[in-house]
Amino acid sequence: MSNTVRVRFAPSPTGYVHIGSLRTALYNYLFARKNKGVNILRIEDTDRNRLVEGAVENLLRTMEWAGIDFDESVEKGGPFGPYRQSERLDIYKKHIDLLLEKGHAYYCFATAEELDEMRRQQEARGEAPKYDGRYRDYPRDQARRRVEQGEAYVVRMRVPDSGETRFRDVVRGEVAFQNDLLDDQVLLKGDGFPTYHLANVVDDHLMGVTHVIRGEEWLPSTPKHVLLYRFFGWEMPRFAHLPLLLNADRSKLSKRQGDVAVEDYIKKGYLPQALVNFVALLGWNPGEDRELFSMDDLTEAFRLEKVNKAGAVFDVDKLNWMNGQYLREMDTGPLTAFLKPFFEQAGLDVSDPQVLEKMARAVAPRINKGEDVAAFADLLRGEMPDITEAEALEILNLPDTTGVLQRFVQKASALGHLSPESFKQIMKEIQKEEGVKGPALWKPVRVAITSGTSGPDLPLVIDILGREKVVAMVRHVLENYCNS
């Protein structure tokens, strides 16, 4: 096996990119880059019934969005292609023939109906459903004749019926499976396509893969893969099975309890650097007392040996916090470009670049993801305040509030243009004339304009709305909410 680290991300194009798949792709990428190795993208499309049109293109877009690139892939090619399994059928057929010849595999002619009946009987006896090996010892010459006559068949691997299969996992240490509990796995299906189990072993070997980094769900299949390596007489790669991703109740992460597709998080306005940072920490501990890591930081710190065995809880609150941190670190230009489509979705006018930039600066400290801007849409449009917050209503009925707001309307109406600077000047004048300061001065104006006791930077909001809207909003509050 090569001294150069070679890893692969090998998804099936069956729909959206799962968050777990993003983590698998990320860990492979980080491990390859950390070790100056090669990162391979291979498309495992041998299950023809589950293929989804456009899934490969969506996968490539998602990986590009996340900043995960590949050295060899369906797009870039490479020395060990093709990188799409449906284009490698002759390779698999040759290896199936080799297993048949050595007696490590056999033809099976059991029909779907026969297999269903077999499972029903096993379940009735309280046994775990498992292929019963009815064709294991079928004479090879008779099997070949039936195949030549066009009879439907599959090819199964002949798992040893005693002993155990052991391997060492980077994450889990020594792992052992009893052979008599393993199924005689189908290697070649009736449609002529290999199953994942054969294709991934053959491809990993021929592509020189040194480390197989994948999700825990593949752990029960690994002894079958180990046996195939032995049957072929090949050196095994090192295995590393990543912990499950869990919901808050520690059940397996599923769409029933929340979003599991990367594209859902993209649509909601999560930044790639935040989602990547968050996903990287699901099951891996860098051993540092911080939580924000750039891709370069992650690459430098990444060690497979620091991946945990225990399942990792997908904490959306933590993701929201992390995304908010990244949003607030963005320069105004990129921030504005990122938030523009979310302002549009919220029905706001984004035609004026200067106003758009002001809106972005106003909401950024108050949001954690792009779609959160919708909560400020009414305010940024200058809708008349609808005040329901108990504390805000109390402020509007304090003794000094009416005087402050009346002075504000009088002074702002006299101006040709209400800017952040002139707004601050007005507030200084009101402070002197009304003899109020601090919260008693500022909170009534904030409530009258933003409908609440907290919100975006007030001078910025006033600059966005302009004098006429601001004056109209304060008048509306005076007429409808203040005791005269």
Three-state DSSP class for 467? helix
User: If you search the block for the tokens 């393993």, which residue do you land on?
Assistant: 182
Which one from 94, 102, 252, 255 is the annotated catalytic residue?
255
The H-assigned helical ranges of 281-331 are: 295-301, 316-329
418 and 410 in contact (C-beta within 8 Å)? no
Active site residue 255: yes
How deeply is 151 buried, as exposed, middle or buried, from its count of CB atoms within 10 A (0-12, 13-18, 19+)?
Answer: exposed
How far apart CA 42 and CA 209 sit, in angstroms, is 11
255 is in an annotated binding site: yes
What is the DSSP secondary-structure string of 163-211? Answer: SEEEEEETTTEEEEEEGGGS---EEE-TTSPBPHHHHHHHHHHHTT--E
Q: How far is CA 450 from CA 299, 382, 395, 409, 447, in A?
A: 44, 9, 13, 16, 5
Tokens describing residue 307: 């991946």
Q: Output the CA–CA distances (angstroms, integers) from residue 403 to 30, 109, 240, 423, 463, in the order listed.
A: 62, 91, 70, 17, 23
Query: Which DSSP letter does residue 271 get?
Result: -
Q: Checking phi first, is residue 192 left (phi over 0); if not, alpha (psi -120 to 50) or beta?
A: left
Q: Annotated binding residues for ATP, as ranges?
A: 255
Q: Annotated binding residues, as ranges?
A: 255
- Residue numbers annotated as active site: 255
